[in-house]
A and B are shown apart, each in its own frame.
Chain A
């Protein structure tokens, strides 16, 4: 991907849905950017799975140490957009 294509919240939603599922009590299409993953029903393993999927699809690796800081969808979107893809 090129620098001009920004990673969007909708793309993240799609990855979350696909690889980790959605809790029935959560409206993932709603205003979730600043909700914590825990509030959205995603545990640490789910976030690991989501970041692994991002690495596969976008080539952006998220080191394990960084994952604990990425507690909301907005954090992940920002993190990905701040880093160039590995190619």
Chain B
């Protein structure tokens, strides 16, 4: 028995917008949230630019008791979860608590909280380390706090596959729904824009050290220099389609396919697993490659990884110039939050029949000749989106997201709606 898993709620906490509509209008307008790091003085650090959720004030969003015992990453996750549940029109208190699940992705746990406590440990001694360190910094903290806050006591878990985590959590949420869970909160956030976080990340050699926010993260560009990190992400409410229909829920789209693969060891000479993940996800959805209307790229921003992804897309679609986009050029790579936010963007793209743009890319690198949607949103008839994600260390995941409504064959009303959305974004840009 395979219940159909649909997304009925989206909560976004992103560097370029807090809340779904703020994020989406900024994204369509090409307005990014990358800037010189302000959460600490980055002078002398290997990373200068990040995507920060500037307008977030925890005290305005969260219970006073929760703030001191949780990391910024959990603050963002709790906020996104609350927004997603509200967007879904669900009051968890009205659903039996063991039928509610939480599965989030985490990439580095409560990094900033952990740094502060470790600083106390080395500078003052063990008795100065706070009791909340025990619950704030481990990977499952956000899942646990969402579960406690909303009384969601069904299957709960956390998945740590770096930037692939958002899709892996979504796949796990779908599995739970298929096994009888009534509703799952899933997605991910990250907030490791702190000295400990960026120093640890820089060890991979994949981050951009550039100081100009407009030139620091340029995936598929000839001038690509690595990526910049960001904080935030998205949470989604996933439900069984029949149950969602029965309660009259609005549905954004369906999690039609999902697959994960792992890369062969470095130096093996074998092809990395991204293409197989995409093929397996489409097979899982029962859809041909021809059905894919848009690809949300992983967009590493690292030349070799960009070339590999571009070649993978070209080979998958056998030369068909499928539109590809990377709205994460406006947020930076959000690690556990990145693919979750891409799924949110894919669902909104399907809703509004418009592909959000990739910003900042001037000149495609050799080997990256993609049909990249650049700078301005592109109206299109969209029924199926393929979301790709790679996590450092060999993780690959792909998700196939299909629109809630049957694909409309008459373009006329669709284009009207997309044009209206773009016109609104243009107005906002001018203002």
Query: Size of chain B's interface in residues, with CB distance under 8 A?
Result: 14
Q: Which A residue's beta carbon lies closest to that of B65? A: A21
Partner of B128, one of A20, A41, A56: A56
Residues of A within 8 A of B67 (CB): 21
* Chain B 132-148 interface 0/1 with A at a Cβ cutoff of 8 Å (1 = within): 10110000000000000
Residues of B within 8 A of A48 (CB): 131
Q: Are A19 and B130 in contact (CB under 8 A)?
A: yes
Q: Are A21 and B131 in contact (CB under 8 A)?
A: no
Q: Are A21 and B132 in contact (CB under 8 A)?
A: no
Q: Is A55 at the interface (CB under 8 A from chain B)?
A: yes
Chief secondary structure at chain A's binding surface = helix
Q: Are A22 and B131 in contact (CB under 8 A)?
A: no
Q: Are B127 and A45 in contact (CB under 8 A)?
A: no
Which range holds the interface residue count of chain A?
10 to 19
B residues 250-288 in Cβ contact with A at 8 Å: none
* Shortest Cβ distance from residue A38 to the other chain B in the assembled complex, whole angstroms: 12
Q: Are B127 and A21 in contact (CB under 8 A)?
A: no
Residues of B within 8 A of A19 (CB): 68, 130
Q: Which A residue's beta carbon lies closest to that of B59? A: A21
Q: Is B69 at the interface (CB under 8 A from chain A)?
A: yes
Partner of B64, one of A22, A49, A52, A55: A22
User: If A19-B68, A45-B69, A45-B135 touch, does A24 touch B63 (CB 8 Å cutoff)?
Assistant: yes
B residues 104-134 in Cβ contact with A at 8 Å: 127-128, 130-132, 134
* Shortest Cβ distance from residue A56 to the other chain B in the assembled complex, whole angstroms: 6
Q: Which A residue's beta carbon lies closest to that of B67? A: A21
Partner of A23, one of B65, B131, B135: B65
Residues of A within 8 A of B65 (CB): 20-23, 41-42, 46
Q: Is B66 at the interface (CB under 8 A from chain A)?
A: yes
Q: Which A residue's beta carbon lies closest to that of B63? A: A24
Q: Are A21 and B130 in contact (CB under 8 A)?
A: no
User: If A23-B63, A24-B63 touch, does A52 touch B131 (CB 8 Å cutoff)?
Assistant: yes
Residues of A within 8 A of B127 (CB): 52, 55-56
Q: Which A residue's beta carbon lies closest to that of B124? A: A56
Residues of B within 8 A of A52 (CB): 127, 130-131
Residues of B within 8 A of A46 (CB): 65, 69, 131
CA distance A16 to B75 in the complex (A): 20
CA distance A50 to B188 in the complex (A): 31
* Shortest Cβ distance from residue A60 to the other chain B in the assembled complex, whole angstroms: 12
Task: Pull 5 A–B residue pairs with CB atoms less than 8 Å apart, ordered by A.
Answer: A23-B65, A45-B135, A46-B65, A49-B69, A49-B130
B residues within 8 Å of A by Cβ? 63-69, 127-128, 130-132, 134-135
**7 nearest A-B pairs in the assembled complex, by CB-CB distance:** A49-B131, A21-B64, A48-B131, A21-B65, A22-B64, A21-B68, A23-B65
